[in-house]
Amino acid sequence: MSLSSLKIESLPKFSANLLSNIHAALHMLVGSVRAFALVRPTFAQFAVLLLAALGANILFGFLAVSDRSYFNEQGLISYLVWPVIILVVGIILARRTMNYSLIFVPVVLWLTADTMLVLSQSGIQFLDIKGWLPSILYGFLPNLFTFLFVWQTASLLWIFAKKLRWVWWERLLMLAGAVALLVVWQKNVVNQPIFKVENVAPTLNERQFHEQHTLLNKGLSDIAKGVKGKNEWYFVGVAGYAEQDVFASEIEQANQLFDVRFGMKNRSIALINNHHTWEEYPIASRTSLAQTLKEIGTKMNADEDVLFLTLSSHGAVDESGSILGDLVMTNPPLTLDVIDPVWLRGALDASGIRWRVIVISSCYSGSFIPALSSPTTVIITASRADRASFGCSNDADMTYFGRAFFAESLREQNTLIDAFKQTRRRVSEREALMGFEPSEPQMVVGAMMQMVLPEFEKVLFDHTNNPSIQLPKFTESEGLR
């Protein structure tokens, strides 16, 4: 059957035509020529579907960028090139076959498919914003979106080739050429989205640079010296990754919790990487952390006092995606070294701090356990060595683990072990609800620490029973890492 003999019937109702076009586009996407029998290519359908496709693409563009963006006319023009090309193809086919009902067939099929697929992409992007996607998917999303764009156009060409009864090698040759062209096009226009972020590189001015030395020294000088004969706790928080606010927020809220609930106002310090906090907190780096541990070690009584060290960041992977087992440290424009387990153990040993509770909130954080384990150490990690953890979406204020441990369990329990058990249960429940692979938080307690931890905990949790203490309030926004 040739295109010239193809008859297109118009349905009386616009809504029926629209449903039929959706049905036709679904057939097109699976390579079925039944799409030609279902399509209803009226001008009204073309006009409405063009507006719907534009709306879907504008929505996707809006969801794909942060608040600091602007409308990019070039991105809209780049998108409109394809409907125009496909409309022109329809006009050429109609004139050659003298079948003018074909004019809107290609463009109506393409616009319908594009609207459906881009709305699907918008849904995926919304899940990304909420942090409801497994971290393993993030690397695949750009390729997935490119595939969807190529799929809708290649499938349109495929059904026309089948309808025209091209031989198999002509179809494959046409398809290979079209796919190559579409991929190259998509890769080249990726920098021209409909909404474009104005990329402003973080800058560290001279005053801020020199102020860092003062901030760290002041923070360390404000830490009180331990009282002989009294068990006391000291808090050090490290937020390693500057490009997402969730890590800074998690450490700030953990620091507030320890200052208020556990009475450590003059025995705590936070090191934070975030360009919003350069004038408020010392940056987190190997150098600043080693100096902090060494200084606190001189103020603690080694036999009586306990260090609570918590680090929050991304777990490092290499370019191939292999797990490295390190903590990523970034603070543009500075270039910082990662914190690896062996280095951290060396810095702790050099500080002379004996009793340690170390909490690491990151993907693959269980990889720190072998190097940090000692008879006098408690280690709590957000995940197994080979598992991702969740919670670092852009709109989250704490990670899943951080919320369950700092904002919930440490407020409700009176021992670290009970707090960990509750954390593990709540993290597991949230991950199961979202269909994620369990992160399986870990806890290891050294042999000597097992004997003395109850006494240390009595001192730590004693402030819980003081009714005059006003505990900090934590917000309830959710996120997945």
pLDDT tens digits for range 295-350: 999 999 999 999 999 999 999 877 666 777 799 999 998 899 999 999 999 999 99
Give 136's pLDDT tier (boundaries 50, 70, 90): low
Report the predicted TM-score, pTM, of the whole model to 2 decimal places: 0.64
pLDDT value, residue 352: 96
Q: What is the mean pLDDT of residues 363-382?
A: 96
Instruction: Name the more confident of 234 and 76.
Output: 234
Q: What is the mean pLDDT of residues 132-155?
A: 74
- Min mean pLDDT across 69-78, 142-151, 182-191, 259-268 is at 182-191
Q: What are the extents of the domains in the chain?
A: 3-197, 206-465
CA distance 431 to 61: 29
Average pLDDT, the chain: 85
Q: What is the mean pLDDT of residues 377-386?
A: 96
Is the model's pLDDT at 66 over the cut of 70? no
Q: What is the mean pLDDT of residues 150-171?
A: 83
Q: What is the mean pLDDT of residues 169-187?
A: 71
Give 73's pLDDT tier (boundaries 50, 70, 90): confident
Is the model's pLDDT at 367 over the cut of 60? yes
pLDDT value, residue 469: 35
Give 415's pLDDT tier (boundaries 50, 70, 90): very high
Q: What is the mean pLDDT of residues 407-412?
A: 92
Give 3's pLDDT tier (boundaries 50, 70, 90): low
pLDDT value, residue 403: 93
Q: What angle do CA 412, 259, 332 make, to 5 degrees?
A: 110
Architecture of the domain made up of 206-465:
3-Layer(aba) Sandwich (3.40)
Instruction: Name the more confident of 84 and 205.
Output: 84
CA distance 231 to 244: 36
pLDDT tens digits for range 202-238: 767 777 777 888 899 999 999 999 999 999 999 999 9
